[in-house]
A and B are shown apart, each in its own frame.
Chain A
Amino acid sequence: MPNDSSAQEVVLRLNGITKRFGNLTANDSVDVTLHRGEVIALLGENGAGKTTLMNILFGHYTADEGTVEVFGQVLPAGATGAALRAGVGMVHQHFTLANNLTVLENILLGTSSLWSLGRGRQKAQSRVMKLAEEFGLAVDPSAKTGQLSVGERQRVEILKALYRDARILILDEPTAVLTPQEADALFETLRRAVDQGLSVIFISHKLQEVMAISDRVLVLRHGKLVGETRTDETTPHALAELMVGEEITQPVPSEAKPGAVLLSLRGVSAHPPGHRTGLRNVDLDLRAGQIMGLAGVSGNGQGALADLLSGEARPESGEMWLGQEKAPPWSPRASLAARIGRIPEDRHSTGSVADFSLTENAILESYRNPGISRAGWMRWAAAQAFAQKVIARYDVRCPGPDTRIRLLSGGNMQKLILGRVLESDPEIILANQPVRGLDIGAVTYVQERLIAARDAGAAILLISEDLDEIMGLADVIRVMSDGRLSPEFPRGTITPAELGRWMAGEGFERAA
C-alpha cells in the first residue's frame, strides 16, 4: 500500500536514542520517524537492538541519550504507561495475557483507575464486540484466555491496544506463531487499521513479509540504524545484506547418502504435559546419513515429538524401534544410552544450568561415564580436560572452563551444547530450533557442523519454524500439523507454497 507518506503528519519520533548496558551499546543514536497512516518495518537480527528500542519507547528502560515524541509531545523518560496513554499500543511476541482472566478482563486490565469500582462491563463488552467486527478480529469476550489458540490470543492483544484508542500499533514478530492463513488475516486487519488513519511499526526478520506489508523499511544492526529505504525501492536480497552486513551464504549440503533406519515410530501417540498439541498416530523413520527437516507452525506437536526423542515423554500407544530392536523402557537416560544426541529448543532453561561453569555444563549428560567419574567419585581434572576440548574444537569464545555459562552469548552457549552433543558421537541427533536467536556467524557454524555430522553417518531430525532453513538443509521434509505428520518430500520436490498448505492442515485427510 505505498502512498506518499512524507506529506502526512508525524505521529511518532525517536530522536537520537542511545542506550548502554555496561560495555554493550544496545542502541546507538537511533532516529525513527513514523507518519500517520504509514506502515514501517523495523528489520534486524536478534540482538540488533529492536527490543531495547521498544522497551525505551514504553518506559521500561531509560535512554542514556535521546527523546521520544508522540504526537508532538515529548514523553517523560522511564515513565511506564506514558506511551500507552499517548496512544501507542504494542503487540508483544510473547503475549502479555493473564491466562486466568477472560478475554474481556484482559482487555479491561489497567483501563480504568485502580481505585474505581469499575462498572459498565456491558458497555465495555459491546465496545469490544464492535471493534472486533470493525477490524476483523473475531473472539469471544467471555472465554478464558488460557483456552484460546495462539492466533486468537494475538487478536486479543490487538484488541487490547485498539480498546485503549491506540493510534500507533507496534507488532513484534507477529507472524512467528501463525499459520500462513492466519498471517494473511492479520495483514488484512492491519490494512483496515491503516485505512482508519492508524500507523504501524512492524518488527520482523522475515523479508517477504516486510516487502508485502510495509511502506518503508528501517534496518538495525548492532544497535545502529544502517539503512532506511522505501520498500518499493529495494529488494529482499539488498535488505538481507544490510541486516547482516555481509554477503549471506547458507551452507549447501552435498547429496545425501541415506543408510539404514536408526529410529522408527509406528503409530505413536503421546500427549506430554506442557504442550498444547500431542502426537496423533505418528509414523517416522530416521535414516543414517540423512537430515529430516520438520516444518510446521510452532505448537503443532513438534514439542511433543522432541520430548519423545529426548526421553522426557513416553509413547502412550504405538511402537518405537531403535534399528532392529524395540526401544527399552524410555527415559532421558535411555535416550542418551541409545546414542541420541539432543540439542534442546531452549538452551537457557533446558540446555544449560546458568550458574554452573562451562565444565559442569559440558559434562551434564556424560558425568556418569567412566572417563568423567568412577564409582560415584567425580574426576574433575578429566571433566575440565573434556570441557577444554569442546571449547577448542567448537570455537566457544570464553575466558576459560571455569566461567559461568550465564555470562556467554547465545551463540557460544549453543556451541558448547553442540560440542557436548557431537563429542558423545551420537547416531541420531535431535536438533530442535538449533539456530534460533543466533547471529549469522553462529548460524552458519552450527549448520555446517550438523551437515558434517550427517556426512559422518548420523541421522538428524531438524525441527524448525523457519522454512528457508528447512528448505536449505533438509534432505527430506515433513510437515507437522495438529499432531499429525505429512508424507516425506525429498529435497526440491516441494515449493514453499505447498509446504504452507500442509502447515495449515490441508492435505492430511487425503493422505490418510
Chain B
Amino acid sequence: MRLEPISNPSLARSVGFPAVALGLSIVMVSFLVLLAGANPFATLGLILKGAAGSKFAALETLNRATPLIFTGLAVAVAFRAKLWNIGAEAQLYIGALVTVLFGTSALGLPGPQPLILVGFASMLGGALMLLGPVILKTRFGVDEVVTTLLLNFIVLLFISLLLEGPLKDPMGMGWPKSPRLDAEARLPRIVEGLRLHWGFALALICAVVVWVIETRTTLGYEIRAVGQNPTAARFAGIPVNLVLLKTAFLSGGLAALAGFSEVAGLKGSLTLDLSPGFGYTGIVVAMLALLHPLGVVLSAIFVAGVFVGADGMSRAASVPTYIADLLLATALLFMVLAILLTRFRIVRG
C-alpha cells in the first residue's frame, strides 16, 4: 500500500473521517462495557446524564473543563511549533505552588498579593519550568519529550517535600496540604450562587488570545513556520531557537494557569492530588481539537464531560471509571489516523 496526497479533500472527507473516528471509538468502548456485563446504551446514557443531565452536572463539567482548557492550550501551542511539551503536569503544579506562595499570609511571605499579580507570577513560574528542557533541546539537542516527562516526577516529589515540610498547613491535621489562600486571593464566582468561578472565563479569554496570537501576529506566523519546516524558517531569517523559547514561555505559562485556577478558583489550597493528570489529558484535548485554540475549548468540555459522566455512571453501573480514559485513548488514536486520511488516500501499488 501507498499513501497518495489529495490536493482538494472534499468536505465529506474532511468532516466524515473524524466523525467516523469518534463513532468507532464509541463502538469500541461499548464492547468493553458489554464485557463488564452492562448495557452499552444505558451506560452511555448514564455518562451523558452524569455530564450534562442537570444544572449541577453541567457546571461540574465546566469546572472540570477549566484546567483542561489551560493545559490543552499549553499543549496545542507547543505542538504547533513541534515542541513536544509533555510536562504540562509539572508546570501546572509549579503554577499552583506560586499561587500559594503569593496568595496566603500564613507563610510569612509578603502575601497575599493582588489576584492579577498572583496569576502573572504563576505563569512566570510555569514558563521558567519549561525553559530548562527547551534550552537543553536547543543547546544540546536533548529530546524534550523525555526531559519534560521526567520533570513531572521530579516536580511532584518536590511539591510533596514542600507540603510535608515548610509549606505544611499547621491546621491540616497531619495531611500534606498547604495553608488556604486568603479570601482576597481567591477567584470569585462568575454568577453569585452558581458554582462556576472566574477561572473558566479566564480560560475562554486565553483561548481567544492564543487564537489571535496564532493567526494575527508575527509570533504566530513564526511558530507555525518553525513547527512545519525549521530548516526553511532558519534560512528565511526566523530565529528558530528564540521562537521556541517564546513558545515555551507561552505554553508553560498557560499550563501554570491551570494550577492557578484550580487553587485560587476551586480548591483554595495545594495538595498532592490537585491534578488527576490534567497535564497529560491536555495532550488528548489538544489533539482532538486538531491543535486549534478555539477547538480546545470544545474538546476540553467534551473530555471533561466524559470524565464527570463516567464518575456519575460508575456509581450507578458496574463499569469502572477507567472506561473514560479508554474512550479518550481510542478516540485519540482513531482521530490521528482519521486526520491523515482526510489528506491522503490509500492506494495499492
A residues contacting B by CB (< 8 A) are: 21-22, 61-62, 77-78, 310-312, 331-333, 335-336, 342, 344, 349-356, 360, 364-365, 367-368, 373, 376-378, 380, 406-407
Chain B residues with Cβ below 8 Å from A378 are 216-218, 220-221
Chain A residues with Cβ below 8 Å from B221 are 360, 367, 378
* Shortest beta-carbon distance from A353 to chain B in Å: 4
Considering only CB atoms, which chain A residue lies closest to B236 in the complex?
A364
* Shortest beta-carbon distance from B167 to chain A in Å: 39
Chain B residues with Cβ below 8 Å from A364 are 225, 232-233, 236
Chain B residues with Cβ below 8 Å from A336 are 237
Chain B residues with Cβ below 8 Å from A311 are 237
Apart from A360-B225, A367-B218: 11 A-B pairs, beta carbons within 8 A? A61-B349, A78-B348, A331-B237, A332-B237, A351-B232, A352-B232, A354-B228, A356-B225, A376-B217, A378-B221, A380-B216
Complex CA–CA separation, A368 to B234 (angstroms): 14
CB atoms of A365 and B228 under 8 A apart: no
Interface membership of B231, Cβ < 8 A: yes
Interface membership of B142, Cβ < 8 A: no
CB atoms of B7 and A21 under 8 A apart: no
Chain B residues with Cβ below 8 Å from A355 are 228
Interface membership of B219, Cβ < 8 A: yes
* A to B contact number (C-beta, < 8 Å): 71
Question: Which one, B217, B219, B232, B348, contacts A353 given CB within 8 A?
Answer: B232
Complex CA–CA separation, A351 to B231 (angstroms): 9
CB atoms of B237 and A350 under 8 A apart: no
* Shortest beta-carbon distance from A47 to chain B in Å: 17
Complex CA–CA separation, A378 to B221 (angstroms): 8
Interface membership of B184, Cβ < 8 A: no
CB atoms of A333 and B4 under 8 A apart: no
CB atoms of A353 and B235 under 8 A apart: no
Considering only CB atoms, which chain B residue lies closest to A22 in the complex?
B4
Chain A residues with Cβ below 8 Å from B219 are 376
> In the complex, which residues 180-221 of chain B have their Cβ closer than 8 Å to any Cβ of chain A?
216-221
* Shortest beta-carbon distance from A309 to chain B in Å: 12
Complex CA–CA separation, A311 to B236 (angstroms): 10
Chain B residues with Cβ below 8 Å from A407 are 7
Interface membership of B320, Cβ < 8 A: no
Interface membership of B16, Cβ < 8 A: no
Complex CA–CA separation, A344 to B47 (angstroms): 56
Complex CA–CA separation, A254 to B270 (angstroms): 78
Interface membership of B170, Cβ < 8 A: no
Question: Which one, A77, A354, A356, A377, contacts B217 given CB within 8 A?
Answer: A377
Complex CA–CA separation, A336 to B234 (angstroms): 12
Considering only CB atoms, which chain B residue lies closest to A355 in the complex?
B228
In the complex, the 7 A-B pairs of residues with the closest C-beta atoms, listed nearest first: A62-B349, A332-B237, A333-B237, A364-B236, A353-B229, A78-B349, A365-B236
Complex CA–CA separation, A351 to B234 (angstroms): 10
Complex CA–CA separation, A61 to B349 (angstroms): 5
Chain A residues with Cβ below 8 Å from B233 are 353, 364
Question: Which one, A335, A350, A377, contacts B216 given CB within 8 A?
Answer: A377
> In the complex, which residues 237-266 of chain B have their Cβ closer than 8 Å to any Cβ of chain A?
237, 239
Q: Could you list 21 A-B pairs, sorted by A, with CB under 8 Å? A: A22-B4, A310-B235, A333-B237, A335-B237, A351-B235, A352-B229, A352-B232, A353-B225, A353-B228, A353-B232, A353-B233, A360-B224, A360-B225, A364-B236, A365-B237, A367-B221, A376-B217, A377-B217, A378-B216, A378-B218, A407-B7
Most buried by A among B224, B225, B231, B235: B235
CB atoms of A332 and B218 under 8 A apart: no
Interface string of B48-63 (1 = CB under 8 A from A): 0000000000000000
Complex CA–CA separation, A376 to B217 (angstroms): 5
Chain B residues with Cβ below 8 Å from A373 are 218
Interface membership of B114, Cβ < 8 A: no
Complex CA–CA separation, A21 to B5 (angstroms): 10
In the complex where A352-B232, A360-B221 touch, is A333 in contact with B216 (Cβ < 8 A)?
no
Considering only CB atoms, which chain A residue lies closest to B239 in the complex?
A333
Chain A residues with Cβ below 8 Å from B234 are 312, 332
Complex CA–CA separation, A407 to B6 (angstroms): 9
Chain B residues with Cβ below 8 Å from A312 are 234-235
* Shortest beta-carbon distance from A352 to chain B in Å: 6
* Shortest beta-carbon distance from A32 to chain B in Å: 20
Complex CA–CA separation, A494 to B7 (angstroms): 48
In the complex where A22-B4, A331-B237 touch, is A350 in contact with B231 (Cβ < 8 A)?
yes
